[in-house]
């Protein structure tokens, strides 16, 4: 019996030691002296708080965290340039705008590198940088806005379930899944989507030095491969992170520079909650997280 108790205690101690090691391993944003170029990975769906995973951690891109990081980099005089490594299908409108606005206020040379995907809100963010690199096969563009919701009224009718509407405003329950949209509600929601779409187009046009008319022709929601995007003015050059860093060194005339990759700070509570173990084992398919406008009606870029 004592032998089993000893084994259990030993396993617990080993587990606690592994947590401490993981804590320091995942918080390895090293401090250094001299000039730096920072690589900032932006991977996953874009939301204001990050898309919470099943274990209570955070996956995806949190605009709150990214904006804070950009502000911190802005204050760090040793940081001479920033490369945003983007792999995102998009996300919420507000979060994409927040990150794009923060990048435009960044007083450092900054590039975007689109790896597999930099579409919709991901492209919005990329367009805010000084220069965009991609692979010829990267998925870019997809300039458009999507509004969607589930509707169960037909199912309710089949099973004899009624939806009783008690609201204080005519459009308060617009987008509820329990009834079909009438034409007036449909026009209302479409008008909101159109306004967001116009804003998105203007932002890309302003960021990329294109006319609104030029971007409008491309803003059909279609995605473009990198080799198409270069010809359309949506991407500047082909290249990966290494190419972007080398070109940034040349542009800034830097001979001695420390290239650092930023890692998200991980707390012990995140580790205890399973965040790291989930991150190790999760698949590559991140769900698109949507912006809730009303009830379950969702808008995303």
Instruction: Quote the tokens at residue 118.
Output: 């930099």
Q: Encode 64-97: b = buried (16+ Cβ within 10 Å), e = exposed.
A: ebbbebbeebeeeeebbbbbbbbbbbbbbbebbb
Residue 182 phi/psi, 5-degree rounding, is -85, 170
Spot the catalytic one: 172, 202, 217, 287: 172
Best CA proximity match to 132, nearest among 160, 157, 158, 103: 103
- Our answer to whether residue 108 is catalytic in this structure is no
Contact, 262 vs 39, CB < 8 A? yes
Taking residue 208's Cβ as centre, other Cβ atoms within 10 Å add up to 19
- Our answer to whether residue 142 is catalytic in this structure is no
| Cα→Cα distances 267→13, 67, 171, 275, Å | 19, 19, 43, 10
For residues 236 and 111, give the distance between their C-alpha atoms in angstroms, rounded to a whole number.
10
Best CA proximity match to 108, nearest among 73, 67, 64: 73
Spot the catalytic one: 59, 62, 96, 120: 120
Residues assigned a catalytic role = 120, 172
């Amino acid at each position: 019996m004592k032998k089993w108790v000893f084994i259990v205690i030993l396993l617990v101690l080993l587990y606690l030691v592994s947590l401490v090691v993981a804590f320091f391993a995942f918080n390895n944003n090293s401090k250094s002296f001299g000039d730096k170029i920072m690589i900032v990975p932006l991977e996953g769906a874009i939301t204001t708080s990050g898309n919470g995973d099943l274990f209570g951690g955070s996956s995806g891109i949190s605009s709150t965290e990214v904006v804070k990081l950009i502000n911190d980099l802005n204050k760090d005089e040793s940081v001479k340039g920033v490369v945003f490594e983007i792999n995102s299908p998009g996300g919420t409108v507000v979060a994409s705008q927040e990150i794009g606005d923060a990048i435009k206020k960044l007083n450092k040379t900054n590039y975007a590198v689109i790896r597999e995907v930099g579409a919709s809100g991901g492209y919005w963010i990329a367009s805010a940088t000084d220069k965009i690199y991609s692979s010829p096969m990267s998925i870019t563009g997809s300039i458009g806005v999507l509004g969607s919701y589930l509707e169960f009224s037909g199912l309710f009718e089949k099973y004899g379930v009624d939806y009783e509407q008690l609201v204080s405003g005519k459009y308060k329950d617009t987008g509820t899944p329990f009834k079909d949209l009438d034409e007036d509600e449909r026009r209302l929601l479409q008008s909101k989507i159109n306004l967001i779409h116009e804003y998105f187009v203007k932002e890309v046009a302003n960021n990329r030095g294109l006319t609104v008319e030029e971007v409008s022709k491309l803003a059909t929601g279609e995605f473009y491969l990198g080799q198409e995007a270069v010809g359309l003015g949506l991407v500047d050059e082909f290249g990966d992170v290494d190419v972007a860093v080398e070109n940034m060194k040349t542009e800034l005339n830097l001979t001695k520079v420390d290239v650092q990759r930023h890692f998200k700070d991980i707390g012990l509570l995140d580790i205890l909650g399973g965040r790291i173990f989930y991150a190790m084992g999760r698949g590559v398919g991140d769900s698109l997280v949507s912006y809730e406008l009303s009830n379950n009606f969702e808008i995303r870029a």
